[in-house]
Structure 1
Amino acid sequence: MTDQTADIRRKLTTVFCADVQGYSALVERDEVGTVTRLKQYRDIMVDLIGRHHGRLINTWGDGLVAEFGSPVEAVFCAVETQRRLAARNAEEPLAPPMQFRIGINLGDVIIEGTDIYGEGVNIAARLESLAEAGGICISGAVFEQVRKKLDIGFDFLGDREIKNSAEPVSAYRVLLGGVQVGTAPKHQMPQQPAATDDAEAAFIKWRRFAWRFAVIAAFLMIVNLITSPRYFWFIWPWLGMGLVLMLRWPAGIDPRRLWPSRRE
Protein backbone atom coordinates (compact mmCIF):
# COMPACT_ATOMS: atom_id res chain seq x y z
CA MET A 1 0.00 0.00 0.00
CA THR A 2 2.85 2.37 0.81
CA ASP A 3 4.55 1.69 -2.55
CA GLN A 4 1.31 2.38 -4.48
CA THR A 5 0.75 5.62 -2.59
CA ALA A 6 4.30 6.75 -3.32
CA ASP A 7 3.72 6.26 -7.08
CA ILE A 8 0.74 8.65 -7.09
CA ARG A 9 1.58 12.18 -8.24
CA ARG A 10 -0.62 15.07 -7.23
CA LYS A 11 -0.78 18.78 -7.91
CA LEU A 12 -2.94 21.82 -7.22
CA THR A 13 -4.54 23.08 -10.43
CA THR A 14 -7.58 24.89 -11.80
CA VAL A 15 -9.95 22.48 -13.54
CA PHE A 16 -12.23 23.73 -16.32
CA CYS A 17 -15.17 21.49 -17.36
CA ALA A 18 -17.68 22.23 -20.12
CA ASP A 19 -20.53 20.49 -21.90
CA VAL A 20 -23.50 21.36 -24.13
CA GLN A 21 -26.90 22.01 -22.55
CA GLY A 22 -29.53 19.72 -24.11
CA TYR A 23 -27.07 18.05 -26.47
CA SER A 24 -29.15 14.86 -26.88
CA ALA A 25 -32.16 16.88 -28.04
CA LEU A 26 -30.02 18.76 -30.56
CA VAL A 27 -28.65 15.48 -31.95
CA GLU A 28 -32.14 14.01 -32.20
CA ARG A 29 -33.26 17.04 -34.18
CA ASP A 30 -30.26 17.19 -36.55
CA GLU A 31 -27.48 14.68 -35.93
CA VAL A 32 -25.07 15.64 -38.72
CA GLY A 33 -25.55 19.38 -38.29
CA THR A 34 -25.17 19.20 -34.51
CA VAL A 35 -21.96 17.17 -34.65
CA THR A 36 -20.53 19.55 -37.25
CA ARG A 37 -21.38 22.61 -35.15
CA LEU A 38 -20.02 20.96 -32.00
CA LYS A 39 -16.62 20.55 -33.67
CA GLN A 40 -16.64 24.19 -34.79
CA TYR A 41 -17.63 25.49 -31.36
CA ARG A 42 -15.12 23.23 -29.62
CA ASP A 43 -12.36 24.50 -31.91
CA ILE A 44 -13.16 28.04 -30.73
CA MET A 45 -12.98 26.91 -27.11
CA VAL A 46 -9.73 24.99 -27.55
CA ASP A 47 -8.14 28.02 -29.24
CA LEU A 48 -9.15 30.26 -26.32
CA ILE A 49 -7.84 27.72 -23.79
CA GLY A 50 -4.45 27.87 -25.49
CA ARG A 51 -4.47 31.66 -25.61
CA HIS A 52 -5.11 31.78 -21.88
CA HIS A 53 -2.23 29.40 -21.14
CA GLY A 54 -4.45 26.43 -20.39
CA ARG A 55 -4.01 22.79 -21.39
CA LEU A 56 -6.68 20.63 -22.98
CA ILE A 57 -6.94 17.39 -20.99
CA ASN A 58 -9.68 15.42 -22.69
CA THR A 59 -12.83 15.54 -24.80
CA TRP A 60 -15.67 13.03 -24.96
CA GLY A 61 -19.07 13.34 -26.55
CA ASP A 62 -20.06 16.96 -26.00
CA GLY A 63 -17.79 17.36 -22.94
CA LEU A 64 -14.39 18.94 -22.46
CA VAL A 65 -11.88 19.13 -19.59
CA ALA A 66 -8.91 21.52 -19.40
CA GLU A 67 -6.59 22.79 -16.69
CA PHE A 68 -5.01 26.16 -15.97
CA GLY A 69 -2.13 27.16 -13.75
CA SER A 70 -4.05 30.33 -12.82
CA PRO A 71 -7.71 30.59 -11.68
CA VAL A 72 -7.77 34.13 -13.09
CA GLU A 73 -6.83 32.90 -16.58
CA ALA A 74 -9.39 30.09 -16.33
CA VAL A 75 -12.23 32.51 -15.57
CA PHE A 76 -11.00 34.97 -18.22
CA CYS A 77 -11.10 32.09 -20.70
CA ALA A 78 -14.60 31.01 -19.62
CA VAL A 79 -16.01 34.54 -19.93
CA GLU A 80 -14.48 35.09 -23.37
CA THR A 81 -15.65 31.62 -24.45
CA GLN A 82 -19.28 32.29 -23.55
CA ARG A 83 -19.25 35.66 -25.30
CA ARG A 84 -17.64 34.24 -28.44
CA LEU A 85 -20.07 31.31 -28.57
CA ALA A 86 -23.08 33.60 -28.00
CA ALA A 87 -21.92 35.70 -30.95
CA ARG A 88 -21.52 32.54 -33.04
CA ASN A 89 -25.07 31.44 -32.17
CA ALA A 90 -26.33 34.86 -33.29
CA GLU A 91 -24.73 34.29 -36.69
CA GLU A 92 -26.96 31.24 -37.22
CA PRO A 93 -30.44 32.52 -36.29
CA LEU A 94 -32.29 29.70 -38.03
CA ALA A 95 -30.45 26.96 -36.10
CA PRO A 96 -31.19 26.12 -32.45
CA PRO A 97 -28.54 27.73 -30.22
CA MET A 98 -25.73 25.49 -28.97
CA GLN A 99 -25.02 26.68 -25.44
CA PHE A 100 -22.25 25.39 -23.20
CA ARG A 101 -22.20 25.17 -19.40
CA ILE A 102 -18.83 25.74 -17.71
CA GLY A 103 -17.69 24.75 -14.21
CA ILE A 104 -14.34 25.81 -12.70
CA ASN A 105 -12.67 24.55 -9.53
CA LEU A 106 -9.30 25.02 -7.87
CA GLY A 107 -8.30 21.79 -6.19
CA ASP A 108 -5.94 18.87 -5.73
CA VAL A 109 -5.86 16.31 -8.56
CA ILE A 110 -4.12 13.01 -9.31
CA ILE A 111 -1.89 12.95 -12.39
CA GLU A 112 -1.78 9.88 -14.62
CA GLY A 113 0.11 10.44 -17.84
CA THR A 114 -1.51 13.46 -19.52
CA ASP A 115 -4.83 12.95 -17.70
CA ILE A 116 -6.01 14.16 -14.28
CA TYR A 117 -8.47 12.61 -11.81
CA GLY A 118 -9.74 13.05 -8.31
CA GLU A 119 -11.95 15.27 -6.19
CA GLY A 120 -10.73 18.46 -7.87
CA VAL A 121 -12.11 17.22 -11.19
CA ASN A 122 -15.33 15.85 -9.66
CA ILE A 123 -16.13 19.21 -8.10
CA ALA A 124 -15.58 21.05 -11.38
CA ALA A 125 -17.94 18.61 -13.13
CA ARG A 126 -20.57 19.14 -10.43
CA LEU A 127 -20.27 22.93 -10.76
CA GLU A 128 -20.69 22.58 -14.51
CA SER A 129 -24.02 20.82 -13.95
CA LEU A 130 -25.13 23.74 -11.74
CA ALA A 131 -24.35 26.33 -14.43
CA GLU A 132 -27.16 27.61 -16.61
CA ALA A 133 -27.05 27.33 -20.39
CA GLY A 134 -24.41 29.78 -21.61
CA GLY A 135 -23.29 30.33 -18.01
CA ILE A 136 -20.32 29.78 -15.71
CA CYS A 137 -20.26 28.38 -12.16
CA ILE A 138 -17.12 28.52 -9.99
CA SER A 139 -16.16 27.13 -6.59
CA GLY A 140 -15.48 29.21 -3.49
CA ALA A 141 -11.77 28.45 -3.85
CA VAL A 142 -11.76 30.03 -7.32
CA PHE A 143 -13.90 32.95 -6.14
CA GLU A 144 -11.40 33.86 -3.43
CA GLN A 145 -8.62 34.01 -6.02
CA VAL A 146 -10.46 36.09 -8.64
CA ARG A 147 -12.99 38.28 -6.83
CA LYS A 148 -10.67 41.29 -6.57
CA LYS A 149 -9.05 40.82 -9.96
CA LEU A 150 -11.94 40.66 -12.41
CA ASP A 151 -14.30 43.32 -13.73
CA ILE A 152 -17.30 41.00 -13.44
CA GLY A 153 -19.84 40.14 -10.76
CA PHE A 154 -20.67 36.97 -8.85
CA ASP A 155 -23.86 35.56 -7.36
CA PHE A 156 -23.52 33.19 -4.38
CA LEU A 157 -25.54 30.02 -4.98
CA GLY A 158 -24.98 28.50 -1.56
CA ASP A 159 -23.09 25.45 -0.33
CA ARG A 160 -23.72 22.42 -2.53
CA GLU A 161 -23.31 18.74 -1.73
CA ILE A 162 -20.80 16.94 -3.95
CA LYS A 163 -20.94 13.20 -4.52
CA ASN A 164 -18.02 11.38 -2.84
CA SER A 165 -16.93 14.63 -1.16
CA ALA A 166 -16.86 14.87 2.64
CA GLU A 167 -17.81 18.55 2.74
CA PRO A 168 -20.16 20.77 0.71
CA VAL A 169 -18.64 23.22 -1.76
CA SER A 170 -19.52 26.90 -2.05
CA ALA A 171 -20.77 27.73 -5.55
CA TYR A 172 -20.86 31.10 -7.33
CA ARG A 173 -22.45 32.06 -10.63
CA VAL A 174 -20.44 34.45 -12.81
CA LEU A 175 -22.54 37.44 -13.85
CA LEU A 176 -21.63 38.10 -17.45
CA GLY A 177 -23.61 41.37 -17.36
CA GLY A 178 -20.57 43.07 -15.82
CA VAL A 179 -21.01 44.08 -12.18
CA GLN A 180 -17.67 45.61 -11.23
CA VAL A 181 -15.68 43.56 -8.71
CA GLY A 182 -12.12 44.84 -8.81
CA THR A 183 -10.07 45.54 -11.91
CA ALA A 184 -7.93 43.20 -13.99
CA PRO A 185 -4.93 44.20 -16.12
CA LYS A 186 -6.25 45.80 -19.31
CA HIS A 187 -4.17 43.60 -21.62
CA GLN A 188 -5.73 40.48 -20.11
CA MET A 189 -9.38 41.45 -19.98
CA PRO A 190 -11.63 40.30 -22.81
CA GLN A 191 -13.39 43.19 -24.53
CA GLN A 192 -16.66 44.17 -22.89
CA PRO A 193 -19.71 44.38 -25.18
CA ALA A 194 -21.16 47.84 -25.76
CA ALA A 195 -24.64 46.70 -24.78
CA THR A 196 -25.83 44.91 -21.68
CA ASP A 197 -26.56 41.19 -21.81
CA ASP A 198 -30.33 41.90 -21.83
CA ALA A 199 -29.99 44.21 -24.83
CA GLU A 200 -27.74 41.69 -26.60
CA ALA A 201 -30.28 38.92 -26.03
CA ALA A 202 -33.04 41.17 -27.37
CA PHE A 203 -30.95 41.91 -30.48
CA ILE A 204 -30.39 38.19 -31.11
CA LYS A 205 -34.13 37.62 -30.80
CA TRP A 206 -34.80 40.52 -33.19
CA ARG A 207 -32.41 39.05 -35.77
CA ARG A 208 -34.21 35.71 -35.68
CA PHE A 209 -37.52 37.53 -36.11
CA ALA A 210 -36.08 39.51 -39.04
CA TRP A 211 -34.88 36.32 -40.74
CA ARG A 212 -38.40 34.87 -40.56
CA PHE A 213 -39.79 38.07 -42.10
CA ALA A 214 -37.17 37.88 -44.86
CA VAL A 215 -38.29 34.35 -45.77
CA ILE A 216 -41.95 35.43 -45.82
CA ALA A 217 -41.11 38.53 -47.89
CA ALA A 218 -39.24 36.47 -50.48
CA PHE A 219 -42.15 34.02 -50.70
CA LEU A 220 -44.67 36.85 -51.24
CA MET A 221 -42.54 38.39 -53.99
CA ILE A 222 -42.26 35.07 -55.82
CA VAL A 223 -46.04 34.49 -55.58
CA ASN A 224 -46.68 38.05 -56.84
CA LEU A 225 -44.34 37.68 -59.83
CA ILE A 226 -45.94 34.36 -60.79
CA THR A 227 -49.60 35.36 -60.36
CA SER A 228 -49.67 39.05 -61.35
CA PRO A 229 -46.32 40.27 -62.67
CA ARG A 230 -47.76 43.61 -63.82
CA TYR A 231 -48.89 44.67 -60.37
CA PHE A 232 -46.34 44.64 -57.54
CA TRP A 233 -48.69 44.17 -54.58
CA PHE A 234 -45.95 42.49 -52.50
CA ILE A 235 -44.55 45.97 -51.73
CA TRP A 236 -47.38 46.70 -49.27
CA PRO A 237 -46.83 43.72 -46.94
CA TRP A 238 -43.09 44.45 -47.20
CA LEU A 239 -43.67 47.96 -45.89
CA GLY A 240 -45.83 46.60 -43.06
CA MET A 241 -43.20 44.08 -42.02
CA GLY A 242 -40.50 46.73 -42.21
CA LEU A 243 -42.51 48.98 -39.89
CA VAL A 244 -42.95 46.12 -37.41
CA LEU A 245 -39.20 45.44 -37.43
CA MET A 246 -38.48 49.13 -36.82
CA LEU A 247 -40.87 49.23 -33.86
CA ARG A 248 -39.34 46.09 -32.38
CA TRP A 249 -35.73 47.31 -32.62
CA PRO A 250 -34.17 46.68 -29.16
CA ALA A 251 -33.21 49.72 -27.10
CA GLY A 252 -29.50 50.12 -26.38
CA ILE A 253 -28.31 48.53 -29.62
CA ASP A 254 -26.44 50.64 -32.18
CA PRO A 255 -28.20 50.34 -35.59
CA ARG A 256 -24.74 49.99 -37.15
CA ARG A 257 -24.78 46.41 -35.82
CA LEU A 258 -26.76 45.60 -38.99
CA TRP A 259 -23.67 46.41 -41.04
CA PRO A 260 -20.76 45.04 -38.97
CA SER A 261 -17.22 46.10 -39.81
CA ARG A 262 -15.18 43.63 -41.83
CA ARG A 263 -12.21 44.27 -39.59
CA GLU A 264 -11.55 41.51 -37.02
Structure 2
Amino acid sequence: MKKSILMMALVIATGSVALAQKEKKYEKLYYKNITQDGEKYSVEVDNAVSTAGETKFKLKITNKTGDYLILKPEECKFTINGKDMMPKEKWLIIKPFGSDFRIINLKGPGYNAVKNYSFSTDGIYTASPNGTVVKADDFKLPPSKNDFVAGDFKCNMDKLSKESDKTEAKFKVVYGGSKVGFIDPLKSAAKMPDGNEYASKYSAGLLGGGGPIMLMKGENDSFTIKWERMEGGRKMDMQLVEMIIQWRETFTEAPLVKEKTTTLNFEFDEAMTEGKK
Protein backbone atom coordinates (compact mmCIF):
# COMPACT_ATOMS: atom_id res chain seq x y z
CA MET A 1 0.00 0.00 0.00
CA LYS A 2 2.79 2.37 0.96
CA LYS A 3 4.53 1.53 -2.30
CA SER A 4 1.43 2.44 -4.31
CA ILE A 5 1.08 5.73 -2.45
CA LEU A 6 4.72 6.60 -3.08
CA MET A 7 4.38 5.80 -6.79
CA MET A 8 1.27 7.96 -7.05
CA ALA A 9 3.01 10.83 -5.29
CA LEU A 10 5.96 10.53 -7.66
CA VAL A 11 3.66 10.61 -10.70
CA ILE A 12 1.85 13.68 -9.36
CA ALA A 13 5.12 15.44 -8.58
CA THR A 14 6.52 14.66 -12.03
CA GLY A 15 3.34 15.91 -13.68
CA SER A 16 3.41 19.09 -11.64
CA VAL A 17 7.00 19.82 -12.72
CA ALA A 18 6.13 19.17 -16.37
CA LEU A 19 3.07 21.42 -16.10
CA ALA A 20 5.14 24.17 -14.50
CA GLN A 21 7.68 23.94 -17.31
CA LYS A 22 4.93 23.99 -19.93
CA GLU A 23 3.35 27.09 -18.43
CA LYS A 24 6.61 28.96 -18.03
CA LYS A 25 6.02 32.66 -18.59
CA TYR A 26 8.36 35.34 -19.91
CA GLU A 27 8.25 39.09 -19.51
CA LYS A 28 9.64 39.35 -23.04
CA LEU A 29 9.43 36.62 -25.64
CA TYR A 30 11.84 36.67 -28.60
CA TYR A 31 11.52 35.11 -32.06
CA LYS A 32 13.95 33.73 -34.61
CA ASN A 33 15.12 35.96 -37.47
CA ILE A 34 13.50 35.40 -40.86
CA THR A 35 14.83 35.81 -44.41
CA GLN A 36 12.75 35.21 -47.54
CA ASP A 37 13.83 35.94 -51.10
CA GLY A 38 11.31 36.54 -53.87
CA GLU A 39 11.47 37.46 -57.56
CA LYS A 40 10.74 41.17 -57.11
CA TYR A 41 11.62 41.79 -53.49
CA SER A 42 13.22 40.12 -50.49
CA VAL A 43 12.38 40.54 -46.81
CA GLU A 44 14.37 40.24 -43.62
CA VAL A 45 12.96 40.22 -40.11
CA ASP A 46 14.97 40.72 -36.93
CA ASN A 47 14.53 42.08 -33.40
CA ALA A 48 11.12 40.40 -33.17
CA VAL A 49 9.82 40.53 -29.60
CA SER A 50 6.53 40.30 -27.72
CA THR A 51 5.65 41.81 -24.36
CA ALA A 52 2.48 41.82 -22.29
CA GLY A 53 1.18 44.77 -24.33
CA GLU A 54 2.56 44.47 -27.87
CA THR A 55 4.46 42.50 -30.47
CA LYS A 56 6.87 44.19 -32.86
CA PHE A 57 9.69 43.54 -35.30
CA LYS A 58 11.96 45.24 -37.81
CA LEU A 59 10.89 44.52 -41.40
CA LYS A 60 13.56 45.26 -44.02
CA ILE A 61 12.57 45.10 -47.69
CA THR A 62 14.96 45.07 -50.64
CA ASN A 63 13.49 46.19 -53.96
CA LYS A 64 14.88 44.05 -56.79
CA THR A 65 13.15 45.94 -59.62
CA GLY A 66 13.51 49.18 -61.56
CA ASP A 67 10.12 50.30 -60.21
CA TYR A 68 9.24 52.07 -56.99
CA LEU A 69 8.03 49.72 -54.23
CA ILE A 70 5.35 50.80 -51.77
CA LEU A 71 4.52 49.02 -48.52
CA LYS A 72 1.07 49.77 -47.08
CA PRO A 73 1.26 48.28 -43.57
CA GLU A 74 -2.47 48.73 -42.94
CA GLU A 75 -3.15 46.12 -45.64
CA CYS A 76 -0.73 43.59 -44.13
CA LYS A 77 -2.01 41.00 -41.69
CA PHE A 78 -1.01 39.44 -38.37
CA THR A 79 -2.60 36.05 -37.69
CA ILE A 80 -2.38 35.33 -33.96
CA ASN A 81 -4.29 32.47 -32.31
CA GLY A 82 -6.53 32.24 -35.37
CA LYS A 83 -7.44 35.94 -35.35
CA ASP A 84 -6.45 38.40 -38.12
CA MET A 85 -5.30 41.91 -37.18
CA MET A 86 -3.84 44.79 -39.22
CA PRO A 87 -1.06 47.11 -38.00
CA LYS A 88 -1.13 50.90 -38.30
CA GLU A 89 2.17 52.28 -39.56
CA LYS A 90 3.30 54.87 -42.12
CA TRP A 91 3.79 53.78 -45.71
CA LEU A 92 7.28 52.79 -46.75
CA ILE A 93 8.50 53.85 -50.22
CA ILE A 94 11.61 52.19 -51.62
CA LYS A 95 13.38 53.45 -54.73
CA PRO A 96 14.45 51.12 -57.57
CA PHE A 97 17.05 48.57 -56.42
CA GLY A 98 17.09 50.15 -52.95
CA SER A 99 16.24 48.88 -49.49
CA ASP A 100 14.68 50.31 -46.35
CA PHE A 101 12.87 49.18 -43.23
CA ARG A 102 9.85 49.84 -41.09
CA ILE A 103 9.19 48.83 -37.47
CA ILE A 104 5.90 46.93 -37.46
CA ASN A 105 4.05 47.14 -34.16
CA LEU A 106 0.78 45.60 -32.99
CA LYS A 107 -0.73 46.60 -29.64
CA GLY A 108 -2.66 44.05 -27.62
CA PRO A 109 -2.69 42.06 -24.37
CA GLY A 110 -0.80 38.88 -23.58
CA TYR A 111 1.43 38.65 -26.63
CA ASN A 112 4.33 37.46 -24.47
CA ALA A 113 2.46 34.14 -24.22
CA VAL A 114 2.27 33.72 -28.02
CA LYS A 115 5.13 31.54 -29.23
CA ASN A 116 4.12 31.28 -32.89
CA TYR A 117 2.23 33.54 -35.28
CA SER A 118 2.31 34.64 -38.92
CA PHE A 119 2.50 37.95 -40.78
CA SER A 120 1.40 38.35 -44.41
CA THR A 121 2.73 41.16 -46.63
CA ASP A 122 -0.56 41.77 -48.46
CA GLY A 123 0.18 45.49 -48.82
CA ILE A 124 3.15 45.52 -51.19
CA TYR A 125 2.80 47.34 -54.53
CA THR A 126 5.06 48.57 -57.32
CA ALA A 127 4.73 51.53 -59.70
CA SER A 128 6.85 52.24 -62.76
CA PRO A 129 8.44 55.68 -63.25
CA ASN A 130 8.37 54.93 -66.99
CA GLY A 131 4.61 55.04 -67.30
CA THR A 132 2.31 57.13 -69.49
CA VAL A 133 3.81 60.49 -70.42
CA VAL A 134 1.71 63.51 -69.45
CA LYS A 135 2.11 66.34 -71.94
CA ALA A 136 3.10 69.76 -70.61
CA ASP A 137 3.27 72.94 -72.69
CA ASP A 138 6.59 74.70 -73.15
CA PHE A 139 7.36 77.19 -70.40
CA LYS A 140 9.09 80.51 -71.16
CA LEU A 141 11.72 82.10 -68.95
CA PRO A 142 10.91 84.73 -67.91
CA PRO A 143 7.25 83.61 -67.89
CA SER A 144 4.09 85.58 -68.59
CA LYS A 145 2.49 83.65 -65.69
CA ASN A 146 4.00 81.41 -63.07
CA ASP A 147 1.58 78.49 -62.99
CA PHE A 148 0.63 75.77 -65.46
CA VAL A 149 -1.21 72.46 -65.48
CA ALA A 150 -0.06 69.18 -67.00
CA GLY A 151 -2.83 66.60 -66.67
CA ASP A 152 -3.25 66.00 -62.93
CA PHE A 153 -0.04 67.87 -62.10
CA LYS A 154 -0.52 71.45 -60.90
CA CYS A 155 2.75 73.36 -61.13
CA ASN A 156 3.87 76.76 -59.98
CA MET A 157 7.21 78.48 -60.48
CA ASP A 158 8.20 79.56 -56.99
CA LYS A 159 11.53 81.21 -57.72
CA LEU A 160 13.61 82.28 -60.74
CA SER A 161 17.22 83.40 -60.87
CA LYS A 162 18.31 84.37 -64.39
CA GLU A 163 21.91 85.54 -64.72
CA SER A 164 24.37 85.69 -67.60
CA ASP A 165 26.15 82.45 -66.75
CA LYS A 166 23.55 80.63 -64.67
CA THR A 167 19.78 80.15 -64.57
CA GLU A 168 17.81 78.39 -61.83
CA ALA A 169 14.06 77.84 -61.73
CA LYS A 170 12.29 76.30 -58.74
CA PHE A 171 8.88 74.69 -59.20
CA LYS A 172 6.31 73.44 -56.71
CA VAL A 173 4.08 70.59 -57.86
CA VAL A 174 0.87 69.05 -56.50
CA TYR A 175 -0.42 65.76 -57.91
CA GLY A 176 -4.18 65.21 -57.91
CA GLY A 177 -4.53 62.03 -59.95
CA SER A 178 -5.79 58.58 -58.93
CA LYS A 179 -2.62 56.76 -60.01
CA VAL A 180 0.99 57.43 -59.04
CA GLY A 181 2.62 60.57 -60.40
CA PHE A 182 6.31 60.82 -61.26
CA ILE A 183 8.42 63.89 -62.01
CA ASP A 184 11.84 63.46 -63.59
CA PRO A 185 13.33 66.96 -64.00
CA LEU A 186 16.37 65.59 -65.85
CA LYS A 187 14.09 64.83 -68.80
CA SER A 188 13.58 68.57 -69.37
CA ALA A 189 15.68 70.86 -71.56
CA ALA A 190 16.01 74.54 -72.47
CA LYS A 191 15.67 75.69 -76.06
CA MET A 192 17.97 78.63 -76.76
CA PRO A 193 18.09 81.29 -79.52
CA ASP A 194 20.70 79.26 -81.42
CA GLY A 195 18.02 76.61 -81.99
CA ASN A 196 19.72 74.01 -79.83
CA GLU A 197 18.27 72.28 -76.77
CA TYR A 198 20.34 72.06 -73.61
CA ALA A 199 19.69 69.41 -70.95
CA SER A 200 18.91 70.66 -67.48
CA LYS A 201 20.66 69.90 -64.23
CA TYR A 202 18.56 68.93 -61.26
CA SER A 203 18.56 69.72 -57.55
CA ALA A 204 16.65 67.24 -55.37
CA GLY A 205 13.23 68.15 -54.03
CA LEU A 206 11.83 68.07 -50.52
CA LEU A 207 12.04 64.28 -50.29
CA GLY A 208 15.77 64.37 -51.04
CA GLY A 209 17.89 61.92 -53.01
CA GLY A 210 18.28 61.52 -56.75
CA GLY A 211 15.98 60.04 -59.36
CA PRO A 212 12.35 60.85 -60.14
CA ILE A 213 10.02 62.32 -57.52
CA MET A 214 7.07 60.05 -56.70
CA LEU A 215 3.73 61.56 -55.63
CA MET A 216 0.47 59.99 -54.52
CA LYS A 217 -2.86 61.83 -54.75
CA GLY A 218 -2.76 65.11 -52.82
CA GLU A 219 0.98 65.02 -52.21
CA ASN A 220 3.36 67.80 -53.22
CA ASP A 221 7.06 68.39 -53.65
CA SER A 222 9.41 70.85 -55.28
CA PHE A 223 12.38 70.69 -57.61
CA THR A 224 14.94 73.09 -59.03
CA ILE A 225 16.33 72.82 -62.54
CA LYS A 226 19.30 74.84 -63.70
CA TRP A 227 21.57 75.64 -66.60
CA GLU A 228 25.11 76.98 -66.44
CA ARG A 229 27.16 79.16 -68.79
CA MET A 230 26.75 78.39 -72.50
CA GLU A 231 29.15 79.14 -75.32
CA GLY A 232 28.10 81.81 -77.82
CA GLY A 233 28.76 85.16 -76.21
CA ARG A 234 26.04 87.78 -75.95
CA LYS A 235 23.62 85.77 -78.10
CA MET A 236 23.63 83.10 -75.40
CA ASP A 237 23.65 85.41 -72.39
CA MET A 238 20.90 83.84 -70.27
CA GLN A 239 20.15 87.10 -68.49
CA LEU A 240 19.30 88.79 -71.79
CA VAL A 241 17.68 86.15 -73.97
CA GLU A 242 14.42 84.25 -73.73
CA MET A 243 14.72 80.60 -72.73
CA ILE A 244 12.03 77.99 -73.34
CA ILE A 245 11.74 74.96 -71.06
CA GLN A 246 10.65 71.86 -72.95
CA TRP A 247 9.27 69.32 -70.51
CA ARG A 248 9.41 66.31 -72.81
CA GLU A 249 8.88 63.21 -70.59
CA THR A 250 9.25 64.98 -67.24
CA PHE A 251 5.73 64.13 -66.05
CA THR A 252 4.43 60.53 -66.10
CA GLU A 253 1.72 58.46 -64.44
CA ALA A 254 1.50 54.75 -63.64
CA PRO A 255 -0.94 52.47 -61.80
CA LEU A 256 -0.12 50.69 -58.55
CA VAL A 257 0.47 46.99 -59.20
CA LYS A 258 -0.18 44.64 -56.30
CA GLU A 259 2.66 42.18 -55.77
CA LYS A 260 2.64 38.59 -54.55
CA THR A 261 2.15 38.18 -50.82
CA THR A 262 4.90 36.73 -48.66
CA THR A 263 3.89 34.94 -45.46
CA LEU A 264 6.36 35.16 -42.59
CA ASN A 265 6.10 32.51 -39.87
CA PHE A 266 7.42 33.62 -36.49
CA GLU A 267 8.91 30.95 -34.23
CA PHE A 268 9.78 31.22 -30.56
CA ASP A 269 13.53 31.51 -29.94
CA GLU A 270 13.91 29.86 -26.55
CA ALA A 271 17.69 30.24 -26.36
CA MET A 272 17.56 34.00 -27.00
CA THR A 273 14.62 34.47 -24.66
CA GLU A 274 16.38 32.64 -21.84
CA GLY A 275 19.62 34.50 -22.55
CA LYS A 276 17.98 37.92 -22.26
CA LYS A 277 16.20 37.21 -18.95
Coarse TM-score class (shorter-chain normalised) = under 0.3
Q: What TM-score, normalized by structure 2, do the two folds share? A: 0.26
Q: Which of the two has greater helix per residue?
A: 1
